[in-house]
Chains A and B, each alone.
Chain A
Amino acid sequence: MDHIRKTLLSTVITILFIIPNVTYAKDIVSGFVGAWIGEGVARPNGFGPPERIKCKVEGSLSSPTQVGFGGRCATVSGSGEFRLLIAQDETGQAIAATVILSTSSERTAFSGRVEGGIIRLFQKQPVVQGERVITSVMTLEVSSDDSSINMQSVVTDTKMGEDSQSLVIQFHKEE
């Protein structure tokens, strides 16, 4: 009987620990679901002069822990498709992401964590762009009511030691 009570208690404790995390993690990715319109500023190649940018994207869950967030972004110089794939682990704290741009054949891989409701992603491998060696940090923040997403990116030229706010986009749900 005592053995049964102990087993039951440990199960309840486990559930109490896991359920909130899973629910929280599910909330993070489900926050991206829907049709979004974003506007902001982008710097071409990370360090170029700022240009206005507009995006129309669609977020959809591919599994309870994975979301695809992709669509079309345009600046006054041109436009292209982009896709951001976000996946979380079972704890919901560790995040992996991949960015795919139609203008480039390469995928950029990120890994990061959820901190206080903000997803912070770090580029896994720096890329060489002309004279520069670039890495970036992307932050994504879904508002508590899931009505907006703030996406920002800061790039760093590790060779020259320069930083630049390369992207700031505020997404709102499309009406």
Chain B
Amino acid sequence: MRYLSSFILQSSVLRPVWVLLVLLPLAVASVFGVLRINYEDGLRSVFSSESQVFQEYARHSDGFTQSEANVAVLVSAPSALDGDDLGHLQEFLLDVQFLDGIAGILSVFSLRRADQGGAAFIPLLPSELGDQGALHLALKSAARMNLTGAALVSSDLRETVVVLSIGGDPSEMVSSSKVLRNLDKLTAKFAEDSGLEVQVAGLLSVREHIIQGLRLDQMKINLLGALFGFAVSLVMFRSFWVAALNTITPIIALLFCLGAFGWFGLSINALTNALPVLILVLASSDSIHLTYEIRLRMSAGEKRIAAVRQAVIDIAPPCVLTSLTTMLAFVSLFYSESPIIRDLALSGVVGVFIAMIAVLFVHPMVFVLAGGLPLIKRALPIRHAEQGQGFTDLLAKAVTSRFRAISVLGVALCVAGLWVLLPVQTNYRFMENIDVDNSVAETLSRVEQIAGPVTTVEIPLRLKDGIGPFDAALLVDIGVLHQAVKDIAGIHSGFSLHSLRVVLSGDGELVSPEVLKAMFDKMPERFRNRLIGTDGRTLQLTLLVPDIGSQAVARFALDVEIITRNLGLTAVSVGRPTGFLVMSSALSDAMIRQLTISFLLAAIACPLLIGVWYRRLDFALAAIVPNLLPIALIGAGLTLLDFDIQLTSALALTIAFGIALDDSIHVFNRLHLQACEDPSQGMSRQAIDLAMKKVSPVLVTTTVILSSGILATLVSEMPMIRFFGVLCIVTFVLALICDLLVLPALIVSFTRKIR
């Protein structure tokens, strides 16, 4: 650490212009790096892993057309759809198939019925759309018909759903985004020409909306974060120039961090979205500690350069330590198997490291160079007494005099919180990434009202030896399966060769397997591939099931597995339920549990690092409870309020723990500095009172800075980022309270015990 401080003094303090000359090209390179940043939702790769559940899902989904690549177009008329409306719809359907990337369509025009002789299947809708009476009857039949388990016309005949299959790999959002943009243009033209309301929805649209939200978020959140940081600095330092100087370093740290993301290929996704503003506020927080120390020393009469020099010597070590503990919290996330969480861990480590370097080298340089300007020079020394010094003095004395009671209470609360929190109750929904009142979500909800859930559970059916996909015995078996699962709560409908046979049979006797095969062969390949896999030996029964949360889905999948296990089927072996919904439900639970272990690793490693850094066991022990307590209380609160622990909460609590430790470190650093200055005082209660008196105003300031910066996440387009922000702020505030009350009490306790 001594070498680092010496290097900073040699460069930023003694040769600030050289540092500036190095910074300028780096800043330019960073601007180009920012332009290279890749935005992706990352939600599909959240669960990608070597786990058996994911591998089963990947193997199965490779063989079948994926429903998650479907986009629904909802067409609404003010009254029942008429010939003109459907004529316009025909026009749209013809045009949309020429868009690059549209691989298939399913609309009310795709519906078929047996002709009068029963020899052939003809379109349900009449060729002549002008015959309103015939059309009305046909639309009524269409509203009752669910070819793919989903109806395509609403019961009031005002709305119809067109399902478009997007070709290519659904995880490749770049090409899908292009298709969706072209589709938006075409639907806008369709709406204009027809006077109908036309909206696009689907999981791909949700993901596209998230990506657009990420871009907007980066601009809004970071700008607001910087403005809030400046405003709080202004209030705290009561000087425009000091607040301005204090804002320069965080902005440079943010620029370098985003630039590095661009050059290193680290993308901004649903999880890393809040990372840049975290970097901004962390840099602000560390900068404030340095600024405060510089002003304090200048007020005591030290010259500016000497004050900066001594501030670096005193404050650089805790800044490094706070960065290391935050990096450690991010490193603990590498325990997760999820690629997107590992990406977050890497981005976090890179970002915090860059912020640390920026604070250590840029902030002293800013004060040496800009602080020399007469206007700023006059503003630097503190000209008024720090507010609240009297209160913090009283508080510190009150705490240390009741250290036993407070320590016991803190430990008891921590144990109680962990008791409620553990074992962790997890929950996950794909749609938690988007607001329910968002237009895409609202359209999706309207589509689901007509067509049923867009999320599915798939049951793999492996043909036994000697059985073909259209054998009568197999069709009977699938019928039995349908019958067995239809009463399980939550199922909207099922879709398989059996249900297709039922639909084609209308109200009459079931069509023969030969007729079913003849009809099946005439269907588009993507449609056929939803029933029979590419290997020709695996079929699937698709159950349309709403996304009711991971716990409910896991229970549902278990129910299906139990019911289908002992049906005594002869033609087919029934596999375990799979699909994105089942896989994400199972793995989100495992992943959140992994994050809990990540948190526990961080909770052990960070105090250990503090102990090693200061070579004091009492510091290490004292750091545990004040920082674990906020997390335990919030986790217990979420569990008691039935929010359970979502992916966002698990991440927020781990990262916030790493940041919340910063305050404790500054307390330890102040005590350490005092002990160095006056070894005779040691860790007496008076020394602890004095340290708390000095450091408390800065802790309050940095907490306000951190919280106000994170407050900017409340304007995020994504609810999970807003939730992340709220959890971080609550953690910071609770951590401050714990650092002001529990930490000094525990230091007194442990110091006495160890002594």
A residues in contact (CB < 8 Å) with B: 48-54, 56, 72, 74-79, 130-131
Task: Flag if A78 contacts B90 (CB, 8 Å).
Answer: no
Task: Flag if A76 contacts B93 (CB, 8 Å).
Answer: yes
User: Which residues of chain B in 92-146 are interfacial with respect to chain A, using CB atoms and an 8 Å cutoff?
Assistant: 93-95, 97-98, 104-105, 107, 109-110, 119-120, 122-123, 127
Enumerate chain A residues within 8 angstroms of B120, measured Cβ to Cβ.
Answer: 48
The 10 closest A-B pairs by CB, nearest first: A74-B97, A76-B109, A79-B97, A54-B94, A49-B127, A76-B93, A78-B524, A76-B90, A74-B94, A50-B127
11 interchain pairs, CB-CB under 8 A: A48-B120, A48-B122, A49-B122, A51-B123, A53-B94, A72-B98, A74-B93, A74-B97, A75-B94, A78-B105, A79-B98
User: Which residues of chain B in 458-498 are interfacial with respect to chain A, using CB atoms and an 8 Å cutoff?
Assistant: none
Tell me if B518 counts as interface (CB < 8 A to partner A). yes
Task: Flag if A52 contacts B524 (CB, 8 Å).
Answer: no
When the two chains form the complex, which single residue of A53, A54, A77 contacts B95, counting CB atoms closer than 8 Å?
A54
Nearest CB in chain A to that of B121: its residue: A48
User: How many angstroms between the C-alpha atoms of A76 and B122 in the bound complex?
Assistant: 13
Enumerate chain A residues within 8 angstroms of B95, measured Cβ to Cβ.
Answer: 54
Give 20 A-B pairs besides A51-B127, A72-B98 with Cβ atoms closer than 8 angstroms.
A48-B120, A48-B122, A49-B123, A49-B127, A51-B123, A52-B90, A54-B98, A56-B98, A74-B93, A74-B94, A75-B94, A76-B107, A76-B110, A77-B110, A77-B123, A78-B104, A78-B105, A78-B110, A79-B97, A130-B518
Task: Flag if B107 contacts A74 (CB, 8 Å).
Answer: no
Nearest CB in chain B to that of A48: its residue: B122
Enumerate chain A residues within 8 angstroms of B110, measured Cβ to Cβ.
Answer: 76-78
User: Which residues of chain B in 73-95 are interfacial with respect to chain A, using CB atoms and an 8 Å cutoff?
Assistant: 90, 93-95
Q: What's the nearest-Cβ distance from chain B to residue A41, in Å?
A: 9
User: How many angstroms between the C-alpha atoms of A53 and B109 in the bound complex?
Assistant: 13
User: How many angstroms between the C-alpha atoms of A77 and B123 in the bound complex?
Assistant: 9
**Max chain A C-beta neighbours (<10 A), residue from B94, B107, B119:** B94
Q: What's the nearest-Cβ distance from chain A to residue B17, in Å?
A: 63
Enumerate chain A residues within 8 angstroms of B123, measured Cβ to Cβ.
Answer: 49, 51, 77
Enumerate chain A residues within 8 angstroms of B104, measured Cβ to Cβ.
Answer: 78
Q: What's the nearest-Cβ distance from chain B to residue A74, in Å?
A: 4
Q: What's the nearest-Cβ distance from chain B to residue A111, in Å?
A: 28
Nearest CB in chain B to that of A74: its residue: B97
Nearest CB in chain B to that of A76: its residue: B109
User: How many angstroms between the C-alpha atoms of A78 and B162 in the bound complex?
Assistant: 12
Enumerate chain B residues within 8 angstroms of A50, measured Cβ to Cβ.
Answer: 127
Enumerate chain B residues within 8 angstroms of A79, measured Cβ to Cβ.
Answer: 97-98, 105
User: How many angstroms between the C-alpha atoms of A50 and B128 in the bound complex?
Assistant: 9
User: How many angstroms between the C-alpha atoms of A54 and B107 in the bound complex?
Assistant: 17
User: How many angstroms between the C-alpha atoms of A56 and B98 in the bound complex?
Assistant: 8
Nearest CB in chain A to that of B119: its residue: A131
Enumerate chain A residues within 8 angstroms of B127, measured Cβ to Cβ.
Answer: 49-51
- CB < 8 Å A-B pair total: 41
Enumerate chain B residues within 8 angstroms of A53, measured Cβ to Cβ.
Answer: 94
Q: What's the nearest-Cβ distance from chain B to residue A66, in Å?
A: 26
User: How many angstroms between the C-alpha atoms of A50 and B125 in the bound complex?
Assistant: 12
Enumerate chain B residues within 8 angstroms of A52, measured Cβ to Cβ.
Answer: 90, 94
User: How many angstroms between the C-alpha atoms of A51 and B112 in the bound complex?
Assistant: 13
Enumerate chain B residues within 8 angstroms of A74, measured Cβ to Cβ.
Answer: 93-94, 97-98
Enumerate chain A residues within 8 angstroms of B518, measured Cβ to Cβ.
Answer: 130
User: How many angstroms between the C-alpha atoms of A130 and B127 in the bound complex?
Assistant: 23
Query: Per-residue CB proximity of B374-413 to A under 8 Å, as 1/0?
Result: 0000000000000000000000000000000000000000
Q: What's the nearest-Cβ distance from chain B to residue A55, in Å?
A: 9
When the two chains form the complex, which single residue of B94, B119, B524 contacts A76, counting CB atoms closer than 8 Å?
B94
User: How many angstroms between the C-alpha atoms of A48 and B120 in the bound complex?
Assistant: 9
Q: What's the nearest-Cβ distance from chain A to residue B661, in Å?
A: 60
User: How many angstroms between the C-alpha atoms of A116 and B645 in the bound complex?
Assistant: 79
Nearest CB in chain B to that of A72: its residue: B98
User: How many angstroms between the C-alpha atoms of A51 and B95 in the bound complex?
Assistant: 14
User: How many angstroms between the C-alpha atoms of A52 and B86 in the bound complex?
Assistant: 12
Enumerate chain A residues within 8 angstroms of B122, measured Cβ to Cβ.
Answer: 48-49
User: How many angstroms between the C-alpha atoms of A96 and B119 in the bound complex?
Assistant: 35
Nearest CB in chain B to that of A50: its residue: B127
User: How many angstroms between the C-alpha atoms of A5 and B93 in the bound complex?
Assistant: 68
Q: What's the nearest-Cβ distance from chain A to residue B521, in Å?
A: 10
Q: What's the nearest-Cβ distance from chain A to residue B147, in Å?
A: 12
When the two chains form the complex, which single residue of A54, A77, A130, A131 contacts B109, counting CB atoms closer than 8 Å?
A77
Enumerate chain B residues within 8 angstroms of A77, measured Cβ to Cβ.
Answer: 109-110, 123
When the two chains form the complex, which single residue of A48, A72, A131 contacts B97, counting CB atoms closer than 8 Å?
A72
Query: Per-residue CB proximity of B318-343 to A under 8 Å, as 1/0?
Result: 00000000000000000000000000
Enumerate chain A residues within 8 angstroms of B90, measured Cβ to Cβ.
Answer: 52, 76
Nearest CB in chain B to that of A73: its residue: B97
Enumerate chain A residues within 8 angstroms of B97, measured Cβ to Cβ.
Answer: 72, 74, 78-79
**Max chain B C-beta neighbours (<10 A), residue from A48, A56, A76, A77:** A76
Enumerate chain B residues within 8 angstroms of A56, measured Cβ to Cβ.
Answer: 98
Enumerate chain A residues within 8 angstroms of B107, measured Cβ to Cβ.
Answer: 76
Nearest CB in chain A to that of B103: its residue: A79
**Max chain A C-beta neighbours (<10 A), residue from B98, B107, B120:** B98
User: How many angstroms between the C-alpha atoms of A125 and B93 in the bound complex?
Assistant: 34
User: How many angstroms between the C-alpha atoms of A80 and B144 in the bound complex?
Assistant: 29
Q: What's the nearest-Cβ distance from chain A to residue B105, in Å?
A: 7
Enumerate chain B residues within 8 angstroms of A48, measured Cβ to Cβ.
Answer: 120, 122
Q: What's the nearest-Cβ distance from chain A to residue B194, in Å?
A: 15
Q: What's the nearest-Cβ distance from chain B to residue A78, in Å?
A: 5
Q: What's the nearest-Cβ distance from chain B to residue A50, in Å?
A: 5
Query: Per-residue CB proximity of B512-529 to A under 8 Å, as 1/0?
Result: 000000100000100000
Enumerate chain B residues within 8 angstroms of A75, measured Cβ to Cβ.
Answer: 94
User: How many angstroms between the C-alpha atoms of A51 and B90 in the bound complex?
Assistant: 10
Nearest CB in chain B to that of A80: its residue: B524
User: How many angstroms between the C-alpha atoms of A130 and B123 in the bound complex?
Assistant: 18
Enumerate chain B residues within 8 angstroms of A76, measured Cβ to Cβ.
Answer: 90, 93-94, 107, 109-110
User: How many angstroms between the C-alpha atoms of A76 and B107 in the bound complex?
Assistant: 8
Q: What's the nearest-Cβ distance from chain A to residue B19, in Å?
A: 61
Enumerate chain B residues within 8 angstroms of A54, measured Cβ to Cβ.
Answer: 94-95, 98
Q: What's the nearest-Cβ distance from chain A to residue B126, in Å?
A: 8
Enumerate chain A residues within 8 angstroms of B93, measured Cβ to Cβ.
Answer: 74, 76
Q: What's the nearest-Cβ distance from chain B to residue A105, in Å?
A: 12
User: How many angstroms between the C-alpha atoms of A75 and B95 in the bound complex?
Assistant: 10
Q: What's the nearest-Cβ distance from chain B to residue A80, in Å?
A: 9
**Max chain B C-beta neighbours (<10 A), residue from A49, A77, A130, A131:** A77
Enumerate chain B residues within 8 angstroms of A49, measured Cβ to Cβ.
Answer: 122-123, 127
Enumerate chain B residues within 8 angstroms of A130, measured Cβ to Cβ.
Answer: 518
Enumerate chain A residues within 8 angstroms of B94, measured Cβ to Cβ.
Answer: 52-54, 74-76
User: How many angstroms between the C-alpha atoms of A54 and B90 in the bound complex?
Assistant: 11
Q: What's the nearest-Cβ distance from chain A to residue B122, in Å?
A: 6
Q: What's the nearest-Cβ distance from chain A to residue B627, in Å?
A: 61
Nearest CB in chain B to that of A56: its residue: B98
Nearest CB in chain A to that of B110: its residue: A77
User: How many angstroms between the C-alpha atoms of A131 and B518 in the bound complex?
Assistant: 12
Nearest CB in chain A to that of B105: its residue: A78
Q: What's the nearest-Cβ distance from chain A to residue B88, in Å?
A: 12
Enumerate chain B residues within 8 angstroms of A131, measured Cβ to Cβ.
Answer: 119
User: How many angstroms between the C-alpha atoms of A81 and B90 in the bound complex?
Assistant: 19
User: How many angstroms between the C-alpha atoms of A87 and B90 in the bound complex?
Assistant: 35
User: Which residues of chain B in 521-559 are interfacial with respect to chain A, using CB atoms and an 8 Å cutoff?
Assistant: 524
Q: What's the nearest-Cβ distance from chain A to residue B193, in Å?
A: 15
Enumerate chain A residues within 8 angstroms of B524, measured Cβ to Cβ.
Answer: 78
User: How many angstroms between the C-alpha atoms of A116 and B155 in the bound complex?
Assistant: 56
Q: What's the nearest-Cβ distance from chain A to residue B447, in Å?
A: 20
Nearest CB in chain B to that of A49: its residue: B127
User: How many angstroms between the C-alpha atoms of A51 and B126 in the bound complex?
Assistant: 10
User: How many angstroms between the C-alpha atoms of A51 and B122 in the bound complex?
Assistant: 11
User: How many angstroms between the C-alpha atoms of A62 and B573 in the bound complex?
Assistant: 53
User: How many angstroms between the C-alpha atoms of A75 and B93 in the bound complex?
Assistant: 8
User: How many angstroms between the C-alpha atoms of A74 and B98 in the bound complex?
Assistant: 8
User: How many angstroms between the C-alpha atoms of A130 and B95 in the bound complex?
Assistant: 31
User: How many angstroms between the C-alpha atoms of A74 and B107 in the bound complex?
Assistant: 13
Q: What's the nearest-Cβ distance from chain A to residue B21, in Å?
A: 57
